[in-house]
A and B are shown apart, each in its own frame.
Chain A
Amino acid sequence: MSDCASLQALHLHTLPLPSSLFILFSLLFSYPSFTASLYSFYLPMAESSPAERKTVTIDALPEDLLVGIFDMLCLRDQTRLAACCTRLRSIKQHKVSAKFDAVVVFWCYKALKKARCMIHGPKDEGQFEIDESTQRLFERTRTNTLEITIKSVDDRPHRILSPLFNSLQYSSLEIDFTVSEEHNIPLLQNLMANRDLNEASFAIKWSRAMHEDIERIRDFLVEFPIVKSLDLTWIYWGANSESLSTEVITDVVLLYLVGRSREELIVGEGDCTVGGLMHVYDGMNNTRCRLVRVTVRREIAQEFHQTVDEPDRRVFVFLGKNTSHELIAMQQIVMTKQPEKFENWSYN
């Protein structure tokens, strides 16, 4: 086939105008090398001629390949490889994200602080002290779960963990405050700041909340961002313990949280009215939230259950078993758009 015939076969008319012009000019000014010009239009050119090309060494591989190689290593091996030379060190620091299955922090009273990072299964787990270098470790890090237990009555967990996890991305945050402390909420706020939490799940546990926590927890909850799911757990201690959650989870707070939970909302005990629960029930029809669990006074639960219109509805309501708290009979309510999951669940 002649070059003229190949011109037709190359379908220049299908190329964008500037490209066609470029090829035609290549043809006019360099007819014998036309075919080569056309290929070079599609193929990236060599950075240097073969004769000039130097031997490839591991540290001179293109950056995207080195990032790919780092990604195939566990964090421990990534760190060791980065200690090899300045280029690998720089790529590790600026381009490679560490991935953990879980980052688990247990903070005890006397500054006993331990972080355990589980990477690619339990075999590679590492446990280390938190210091400046550890802080750098979390600069470009993603974890499935960030699990924190705080057992401290001062602001150190907030002071140290907030900057440490400043840019740590997580899919799920599980945090347990085993003591009442005014910096617990600021720590939570910092762990949630500047992140896209739309796909994140939250499990927040207040094991020993005190009366002074009520106001700040409520203020925190009514500012809650949109998340995938939210599970609030409250533990009550001793015979004279009080249900603080009923003072936090009011009609207004519950309705607000339904609008912020894309899939599930579990809140523990609430001081809700039948009217408030009806608002939540109606609100679920207008949101993507498919499950709400709240425990209320038994008579409220029963009345709400009778009030809800039975037929032709997307949301179904189930009542859980009776419980009691502070000698008050309570009953759990589940409102769900997936009733099949609760068919054998009702205790009614």
Chain B
Amino acid sequence: MVLITLVSSDEQNFPVERELLKQSGTIETLIVNMNLDDEDTDAAAMPIPLPNVKGDVLEKVIQWMEHHKGDPVKEGDNEDNNAEIVVPQWDDDFFKPAMYGSKHLELTVAASYLDIKNLLTLSCKAISNTFKGKTGPQIREEWGVPNEFTPEEEEAIRKENEWSE
């Protein structure tokens, strides 16, 4: 089993099975371009630095990839009807503990940076599910977003959005 080492932004090393990394478009491109798959290349001696992903987030990404090992990898833009996507139970349980916090958002940003399409789609869907049926002030409160609107602006927005109440 070929292992490739990923190095997080806080210098933690994560040896990962080569097969798992096929889920990440960014790392896969890198591996192909750097010929790390060549028999002559000592892939273990060439750790891949990921300067945009912290260790705790990378650990979660790897955990997700391990569970989804062998899943078909999406190619190109997502043409599915985004409203119809359902987050499977395992993924829902996986995201839930960190939801409403910075860690889930960092996981989403990492999925985007590493180009892991399935993780990105499910992660965004899990976030969007938390907004369903909530008002702007409720979302602000749950996600800790500061209110930047003046009372006058807020009233104008409320009036404009009356149809959606």
Residues on A lying within 8 angstroms of B by beta carbon are 1, 6, 9-11, 35-36, 38-40, 42-47, 49-50, 55-59, 61-62, 64-65, 68-77, 79-86, 89, 120, 126, 128-129, 133-134, 136
Contact = CB atoms under 8 A, between A and B. Distances in A.
A126 B164 contact: yes
Nearest to A79: B164
18 contacts: A6-B41, A6-B42, A9-B40, A35-B46, A38-B34, A42-B33, A43-B48, A46-B51, A55-B102, A57-B143, A58-B127, A58-B143, A61-B109, A72-B124, A77-B128, A80-B134, A85-B146, A136-B160
B71 to A, nearest CB: 20
Contact of A80 (B38, B45, B120, B131): B131
Nearest to A115: B163
Contacts of B112: 62, 64-65
A83 B83 CA distance: 20
Contact of A65 (B41, B83, B109, B137): B109
Contact of A39 (B48, B143, B157): B48
B105 A36 contact: no
A11 to B, nearest CB: 6
A81 B124 contact: no
B128 A73 contact: yes
A6 B82 CA distance: 44
Residue among A45, A46, A129 facing the most chain B CB atoms (10 A cut-off): A46
Interface of B: 9-10, 26, 29-30, 33-35, 38, 40-42, 45-46, 48-52, 54, 81-83, 85, 102, 105-106, 108-109, 112-113, 120, 124-125, 127-128, 131-137, 139-140, 143-149, 157-161, 163-164
A120 B128 CA distance: 16
B13 to A, nearest CB: 14
Contacts of A1: 41-42, 45
Contacts of B83: 72-74, 120
Contact of B163 (A44, A85, A128): A128
B131 A42 contact: no
A57 B144 contact: yes
Nearest to A60: B105
Contacts of A9: 35, 38, 40-41
B135 A65 contact: no
Contact of A50 (B54, B131, B135): B54
B30 A39 contact: yes
Contacts of A72: 82-83, 85, 124-125, 128
Nearest to A136: B160
